Amino acid sequence: MRRRASLVLLSLAVFCTALAPLLRWWMFPAFAKIPAGQYQEVVLEAKPATLLDYGTLQPREIPKITIVQTLKGNVERSREIEADAGRDVVVWDALSYVVGPDGKMVSQVPERYIFDAHTQDPVHATGEMVDGDPVRRTGIEFKWPFFTEPRDYLYFDAQTRTSAPIHYVGPRTFRGMEVYYFEQTVPWTKVPFPKTMPVKGFDPATIEKGFGTTRWYTTKRMFWVDPVTGAPVNGEEIHTEELRGGTLAANAPGQRLVMFDAHVKMREDYLRHTLDLVAANRTKILVLHTYAPLGLAVTGVVLLGLSLWLEARSRRRAGDPPAPAPVPVSA
């Protein structure tokens, strides 16, 4: 009976020990992926902000600017690209929509971001763009990889259409969650005008060629990133844009006219929602990557020890000398 129990325990030990690395190195890459059909919306605000009044061509301070960022998974296009790429691909159709305090559009910039569902590495395919301009991204955008490392990463800037290092500053505790803090400063750079402008008659060709005015931009972006999921739990930007030279900025000091200036932060309700969502996904990732494989490995070792112990006891009983026969006693 003990030998049969020992064999059962040995079989379970082998099963658990074999399943542990299978979970870690096969199931984790296979299941820890960004869903192709994900939809996400984040609202950011700047209070107050400086915005160019196109009627007077003078910057003025306004109480609030709202930026709505949406990420919508394009499932049909991702399946088309997957057929050629041979791996799981996510296509995000993104839109950054800026609204003034009067509810009118200030600017809108669409993007198409194509990347590997597990590693978050860019995947280059037809349709990759920013504001209708074809781009070829290097580095990350929007999200860090699973199990983010404490190091610098290349980060793609949609305004300049280029990538530059975003620097790891150090660990932080953000509202009770252990995160990594990253910073990137984009120096003053000439950038294209948005193709959709808030005033009729103003378009990139008219402003640059007709007025001889160019658009310049600088920003300091800050991210607090959960290292397990690679998802930012908070993001802020100190963002400034200027019109330089030409007719439009001719009367401005140094021919530099502030177009936009604000410290942009995530709205409180979206910040709380993001923290809750990341915390829930963090637990799922840790179960698949760490807790379950480690638990199975420990269980396998314990079961193996019990199996060997039962086998040893069984052999010891089998090797014991037979008990002496009873000696008859006469009356």
Q: What is the pLDDT of residues 213-256, one digit of tens each?
A: 999 999 999 999 999 999 999 999 999 999 999 988 888 889 99
Q: Which two tokens stand for residue 175?
A: 């509202």
What is the reported pLDDT for 324?
58
Question: How far, in Å, CA of 183 to CA of 202, rounded?
Answer: 34
Amino acid identity for residue 259 in this structure: M
What is the reported pLDDT for 306?
78
Which residues lie below 8 Å from residue 153, measured CB to CB, with a gap of 6+? 139, 140, 144, 165, 166, 168, 182
The pLDDT-based confidence of 3 (bands split at 50, 70, 90) is: low
Per-residue pLDDT averaged across 69-79, rounded? 95
Q: pTM for the whole thing? A: 0.86
- Which DSSP string corresponds to 206-256? IIIIIS--EEEEEEEEEEEE-TTT--EEEEEEEEEEEEESTTTTTTSGGGE
Q: What is the pLDDT of residues 113-165, one digit of tens each?
A: 999 999 999 999 999 999 999 999 999 999 999 999 999 999 999 999 999 99
- Which DSSP string corresponds to 122-171? B---TT-EETTEE----SBSS-PPSS--SS-EEEEETTTTEEEEEEEEEE
Question: How far, in Å, CA of 221 to CA of 256, rounded?
Answer: 23
The pLDDT-based confidence of 182 (bands split at 50, 70, 90) is: very high
What is the reported pLDDT for 23?
73
Give the long-range contacts of residues 273-281, CB within 8 A, separation 24 or more: 274/42, 274/231, 274/232, 274/233, 274/234, 275/175, 275/177, 275/233, 277/231, 278/177, 278/226, 278/229, 278/231, 278/233, 279/177, 281/229, 281/231
Question: Nearest to residue 266, comparing CAs of 233, 288, 289?
Answer: 233
Q: What is the pLDDT of residues 31-41, one digit of tens each?
A: 889 999 999 99
The pLDDT-based confidence of 331 (bands split at 50, 70, 90) is: very low
Is pLDDT above 80 for 62?
yes
